[in-house]
Amino acid sequence: MSNRRDFFRTAGGVALGATAVSRVGAAALPEAVVQTSPTMQPPLMPPNGRPYNPVATLNGWTLPWRMKDGVKEFHLVAEPVVREFAPGMTARLWGYNGSSPGPTIEAVEGDRVRIFVTNKLPEHTTVHWHGVLLPSGMDGVGGLTQPHIPPGKTFVYEFTLPRAGTHMYHPHGDEMVQMAMGMMGLFIIHPKDPRQFKVDRDFAFVMAAYDIEPGAATPRVSEMTDFNLWTWNSRVFPGIDPLVARTGDRVRVRVGNLTMTNHPIHMHGPSFEVTGTDGGWVPKSARWPEVTTDIAVGQMRAIEFDAIAGDWSIHCHKSHHTMNAMGHKVPNLIGTDMRGLGERIGKLIPGYMTMGENGMAGMAEMGMELPQNTLPMMMGTGPFGPLEMGGMFSVVKVRDDIKPGDYKDPGWYKHPKGTVAFEYTGEQPPAPRAASTPAPADATMSVRKPGAGGGHDHHGH
C-alpha cells in the first residue's frame, strides 16, 4: 500500500518500493484517449488483465488503459468540452477527455490502478473516487487529503480495488461550479470471478442537472434548485440511447445521482430489484420487488430485471424532470378561455406563449419558434404520435431477436395483434349520477373542446 507521504515523495522524484507510485510510471504518461461523440460506444472488452463483462455506458464510452507491470494505467484529462444534449442543442461544459460525463473507468476487484489526472481547466481541481475503498490520501479531497491540482499540472492516484461495485468519480475542489459544469463519471469495479453477479446486459449512467437559459450554452453554476435540463449522462430525451435487450435477458441498470435533488426512477413492464448500491451488493434475502426506486443525491443504485418483450418507458417520476428547457415559469391556464389572448400579448412580447387551455399536450405539436440552441420542453415522436417527453426519459426496448452484444436501436416494438389499446366506437349511454350525491350547482365547468367553435356544457355528453 502506498500512503500519502509515499505518494508525495514519489511525485517529488524519489522512487519507492514496487507498491508505491512508481516514478517510472509518473515519468511516462499514458496516452489520453479523447472521445467527443455522444453516440454510445460499444462496451470495451478487456484486451488484457482479468476477464470481466463490461458495462454499456449510455451515450458514453469506457476509458482504455495501458497495462504496465501489472498495473492498469488510465489518463484522465479535466478540460472544457462541448456536449450535445440532444440534436438541436449543445452545451459548453467541463468534463474529461472530450466528454461530459467523462469516460467510464472499468477495472476488476483486486486490480491495482494508477490514474493520471491532468488539469486543463482554468482553475484547480481534484478527483474524488466516490464510494471506492482506498487509502485516505488517494480520496481526492482538495485541501484535506491532497493539495489541489493546479491548472496545467498532472497528479497521480494509485490504489488497489478491494471490492467490486458501482461507483462514480467527480471533483472535490470547487464542487459547486465543477459539478454544475458537468464534471463526473462512472467507476465500475467488476468482480474477480466473472460468474459472480453476472448479467446479460449491464447499462450505466449518471444523472446531472443543468440550468442553461434558452439561447445560451453555458450552465448557470450558482443555481441551487431551479434547473431546467435534467440529464442522463449529459443527454436529454430524445437524445438518450434506448436500453436494448433480448427477451429473457437478465438486465442491470446502474444509476448514479450527482444532481441536487432526488430522482424516483420508474420503469414500466417487469418489476426490478435493487441489487447494489455504491456501498456494495444487496444480499438476495434483503431484496424486494419494485417498479420505482428513489435515488437520493450522491447515491448509486444497481437495479436488475428479467426482460419482457416490448417498449417499456424508464424515467424519473418527477414529471418536471421529463421536460426540457421551456417547461418552467409557465402559468397554469387549464379551463381558462384564452381565445386571442396569446395573439394579443404576442404583439407586445414577441415569442410569448401561454400554457394551453386544455393542458399542454398541444405544445408538442405546435412547432413554436424557439431561441437558438434550446429544446422544446416536450419532444420525441413514437409510432403513435408525439411522446411529449424530454429530460430523464428513455425506452427499454426488448425484442426476441437481439444478438448478444448488439445495442443498436431496433426501432419501435411491433405489438402482437389485439394487444394495443383502441378506440371504443359503440353506443355511449348517458353516465348515471348517484342520486344521493347531486353535483353542487356551481360545480359545472364550461369546457371548450379542441376544434369546437363555441362553449359546450360538459354535462349531458
C-beta of 296: minimal distance to Cu ion in Å? 11
Distance (Å, whole) CA 461 – CA 451:
17
SS3 146: strand
Q: Read off the amino acid at residue 429.
A: P
CB atoms within 10 A of CB 81: 24
Phi, psi of 214 (to 5 degrees): -50, 130
Q: How far is the CB of 449 from Cu ion (least distance, A)?
A: 33
Q: In terms of CB distance, is 170 or 321 closer to Cu ion?
A: 321
CA nearest to 276, candidates 362, 204, 373: 204
Of 263 and 397, which CB lies nearer to Cu ion in the complex structure? 263
- Cis before 371? omega within 30: no
Burial 283-296 (b: 16+ CB within 10 A, else e): eeeeeeebeebebe
Query: Which distant-in-sequence residues (6+ apart) come within 8 Å of 183 by Cβ?
Result: 78, 94, 95, 96, 100, 102, 125, 170, 171
Backbone angles phi, psi at 139, to 5 degrees: -80, -15
Which residue is listed with cell 462496451? 43
Q: Output 26 or 316, the one with its CB closest to Cu ion.
A: 316
Closest distance between Cu ion and the C-beta of residue 299, in Å? 13
| Minimum CB distance to Cu ion smaller for 134 or for 260 | 260
168 is written with which cell numbers? 462514480
Cβ 326 to Cu ion shortest distance, Å? 17
In this complex, which beta carbon is closest to Cu ion, that of residue 218 or of residue 261? 261
Sign of CA dihedral 18, 27, 179, 37: negative
Sign of the Cα torsion 69, 129, 1, 15 reads positive
From residue 57, how far is each of 54, 108, 244, 318 by CA, in Å?
9, 17, 12, 23
Minimum distance of Cu ion from residue 84's CB (angstroms): 21
CA separation for the pair 41, 174 (Å, rounded)? 30
Cβ 307 to Cu ion, closest distance in Å? 24
* Nearest distance, CB of residue 427 and Cu ion, angstroms: 43
Dihedral sign computed on CA atoms, order 274, 277, 282, 286: negative
C-alpha distances (whole Å) from 273 to each of 190, 295, 393 are 19, 13, 20
Shortest distance in whole angstroms from residue 291 CB to Cu ion? 16
Report how far residue 185's alpha carbon sits from residue 163's, in angstroms, rounded to the nearest whole number.
19
Nearer to Cu ion, 20 or 179 (CB): 179
Nearest residue (CB) to Cu ion, 319 versus 381: 319
In the bound state with Cu ion, the residue whose beta carbon lies nearer, of 124 and 321, is: 321
Give 177-199 as a DSSP string: HHHHTT--EEEEEE-SSTTTT--
Locate 383 and state its grid cell: 409510432
For residue 231, the cross-strand partners are 208
Q: How far is the CB of 395 from Cu ion (least distance, A)?
A: 17
161/316 with CB nearer Cu ion: 316
Q: C-beta of 217: minimal distance to Cu ion in Å?
A: 23
Q: Rounded distance, CA 237 to CA 222, Å?
A: 25
Nearer to Cu ion, 212 or 236 (CB): 236
Task: Select 57 or 231, whichever has its Cβ closest to Cu ion.
Answer: 231
Residues that bind Cu ion in the complex, under the rule CB under 5 A: 263, 316, 318, 321
CB-facing half-sphere around the CA of 347: CA atoms within 13 A: 4
CB of 315 to Cu ion, least distance (A): 8
